[in-house]
Every structure is written in C-alpha cells, then in structure tokens.
Structure 1
Amino acid sequence: MSDVRTQADDSRLHGMLTVADEIALAEAYDRHAPSAYALALRITGDQGSAEDAVQEAFVELWRHPERFDPHSGSLRAWLCMLTRRRAIDLLRRQTVQRTHLTRLAGQAPVEGGVEEDVVGAAQAKAVRECVRDLPALYRDPIALAYYYGLSYRQVAAELGVPEGTAKSRLRSGLRLLAERMSAAGYPGSAS
C-alpha cells in the first residue's frame, strides 16, 4: 500500500474511531494486530503476555483515538509503539513480581504445637514449591491473590490485564496447583 493511500486509510479510520465506530476498530485490528503480536512475542517470549500487550494497545486506541495523529505517522507504527511499551511494561512487572515471589517463598509462618508445626511446615513448603514451579502466567496472579490478599480486580490492575483475564488465570492456576499438589501426594488437594 502506498504512503498516500496508507495515510488516507489511517485518517479515515481515525475519524471513525473518534466517533466510537466498532467497525473501524475491527478493521484496524484485522490489519495491524498480526504485526503488533509478532513484535510483542519477540519482546516477551510468551504468547499470553504478547496477547495481553496487543490487547492493551488496542484498548488504548479504542479509549483514546485522539492520541493517534494520522499526520505524524502510520497507525501501524503507532500501534506497534504502544504494543512495544506494553510488552516492556509486562516484562518489568513480571521481574518485580518474581523478586517478590522469591522473597515470599522463604517465608511462611506456622503456628500450633510441635506436631502441627512439623506437618504445617511440610505442607507450606510443598505449597510454596508447587506455586513457585507454576508458569509465571499463573504463579503471579496466585501470589498476588493469596500471599498479598488482593481481589481479582486488584490482581487485574496490578498485572495490567483485563479482569476476565485475571479471573481466568487464577482459576486455571488454582486448578493446576491442585493437580500438582495431588500428584505430590497431598490428598484432598485436587478438586
């Protein structure tokens, strides 16, 4: 597509987006999401994180189409820039969360008698190990919800993902954790 035609198309889409035309968003997504996803995947190395970065970029376009100026550059370049920023932000958050999780893995206060202390400590250690071994996609939301006591809405905000994504990751992560605990020989852990 020529530069003049691209700019005209981007201007047309921009005008439609400023009046909340869903067809324009779908067209922009169909046209530019593959490039944005490929970039995010190269940065994050993780499909889920790449999808989240692309989703966040398109949500930004939908919520604030006025921030895109078709006379300053192409919509593709602007969306890729947004996606790149989101992907880097996700990587930074994951690094910070891993640091917190590493610190948490060594801490688990246990109360009770000597026998209860021994059993509780062994179970706490097994849970920490199973949580630590989960993929980051599930480990981070679980740690935020159960170690820090955040609600799924707060988890979504902390991770910078939609609430539905946070809920889904928590459910899937807990299911995987239960399976791993059951496989490690802790009865009643799989549900």
Structure 2
Amino acid sequence: MLGVVSEIPVSQSSPANAELTSVLERVAEGDQLAFGELYDLTSARIFGLVRRLLVDHAQSEEVTQEVYLEIWQTATRFDAERGGAMSWMMTMAHRRAVDRIRASQAGRDRDQRIGRRDITVDYDDVAEKAEITIEHERVARAMTRLTELQREAVSLAYYGGLSHSELASFLEVPLGTVKTRLRDGMIRLRDELGVTS
C-alpha cells in the first residue's frame, strides 16, 4: 500500500494547512528563510514518523535530513490542489523511511543468500511482486471512492502515522469526529475491497 498517498487529495481547510502551504510556496521560490521556518514548523512531526518506522535514532536523523533535502529540491512540484503541505511532506518522509527499510532488508537478504547459496535455490518473487502491485492499485481505486474527509483522515492516520488525538489536533476537529471519519472510511474501504470481517 506504499505510494498511494501521493494520489490522494487532502483538504486545505485548516489554518495550519494554509500556513504550511504558504511557507512551502515560498520555499519553492528559493526562500532560504522560509525553508528554516518550514523546518521549525514540521521537523518534529517528520522526525517522529521516520523514527516510528526505523526505530534507530541515527538512521532516523539521516533519513529526516534526506527528506528535507528532497523538500528543498522538489518544492516546486507541490500542488496545493492535490493535497495539504503536511500530507505531501509526510508522504515523502514515509516513502524515504520505507526505502531505507527495504535497502536494509535487501542487504540482509543478500548476505543470507550468499551464506546459503550452496544449500538452497534462489526464490523467484516475481509473482509475489505482481500480486502486491495489483493490491496497491485496488487500494488506490478504493481510496478514491471515499469522501474527501474520510480519505484525509485515513491517509493521515495510516500513512502519516498520526494517532487519533494527533489527527484531531492537526485537523482541528473533535476527537469523536476523527474517530467517526476513520471508522466510516475503513468500513467503506472494506466494502469497496470486498473484505469480509
């Protein structure tokens, strides 16, 4: 289900989103002071997400630096019509952290294959990759069938790694509203995907 978030529109309704969008637009124009401001406003949340995924502090710091370098280099690609600034950055951070996890896993897998190549035959995972790709596409299509508010809540909770209370604070809505949006969104996703409980 990686990579789906970038295709999901997110509401621009909250003042926090509007402020971040404005700062990110200044960054896209090459404003270094705006970049510093953007870092101050978002680094704790970006680092928190990366740290949650990677666990290792040093690697989390490295990946967070890579995320901000990518933000600086690609800020001109941000499109406020497609989603919120924080969602865009969290998606980037999530993708970078997952890439680091995959790279580490690939290294471990390579070492294991080399260590046992005389004993076992390499596993062909083409079918598994194809199945995962098809499943990602199904989820992306199902996400487009959610309401904008449900899509925003589900994407920030799942891909952004926000807890219910963090989500309520970020969206500036009551906790009960967040829980309702998530519940309704997950029920609709389950129905769209044909999943039985």
Task: Return the TM-score normalized by structure 2.
Answer: 0.48
Bigger Rg, structure 1 or 2: 1
- Larger relative contact order (C-alpha < 8 A, sep ≥ 6)? 2
Task: Return the TM-score normalized by structure 1.
Answer: 0.49
